[in-house]
Chains A and B, each alone.
Chain A
Amino acid sequence: MRNDVRELRTGKGLSQAELGRELGVSRQTVNAIEQGRYDPSLPLAIRIARYFGATVEEVFHDD
């Protein structure tokens, strides 16, 4: 699933490891989400969206 996590993360000046710490996941998991290799669960997707002050639909795009 396409998403804007990388853009949102770099916009905040965070590394993947730092975002991972904020979300409670590994750096590799942040990388996998950004590259579209892993679709997060609904709870994690909500956590990511809330962290960036957005909705799930604004961060993740099912197209």
Chain B
Amino acid sequence: MTTEKTRPAGGAQHWGTPALGVVAGVVYFAIFIAWGKVGMALFGVAVMWIYAAVLVLGSRRSETVAMMRGEVTDERRTQISLRASSFALNVLVVAMVGGLLVELGRGHDGRPWTWLAALFAVSYGGATAYYAHRG
């Protein structure tokens, strides 16, 4: 057990997510321009750049925005992040099972939902075993 302080958010943690948003906007723009869809290209880059700007400008005012920016800087924020990730994963699982049932109901073999469900099961089981072993 250590009682050392949590390190404050560093440069990569502080700027990583906004930078990813900016880069994703450029990628969206390039892809849609390549397909000749100028409107979608401008919409895509605008959405991602506005998202990045909100993260940068809003992180001082809102803890939620700060955490979405990647500032998970202490144990409470780590717990919040884990709970939020778990909740989002549960939403995804429900959507995955729903998609699988719809595909099976249509007479298809359920792909790609079956592959996603298998990936989830294997990764969840593996991670559970790993962390149970580590204590």
Contact = CB atoms under 8 A, between A and B. Distances in A.
Interface string A2-35: 0000000000000000000001111011001000
| Size band of the interface chain B makes with A | 10 to 19
Interface in B61-90: 63, 73-77
A25 B8 CA distance: 8
Contacts of A29: 74-77
A46 B3 contact: yes
A42 B76 contact: no
Name the prevailing secondary structure of the B interface residues: loop
B6 A25 contact: yes
A12 B114 CA distance: 59
Given A23-B5, A43-B2, A28 B63 contact: yes
B1 A38 contact: no
Interface string A37-57: 010111110110010000000
A12 to B, nearest CB: 18
B7 interface: yes
Interface of B: 1-8, 63, 73-77
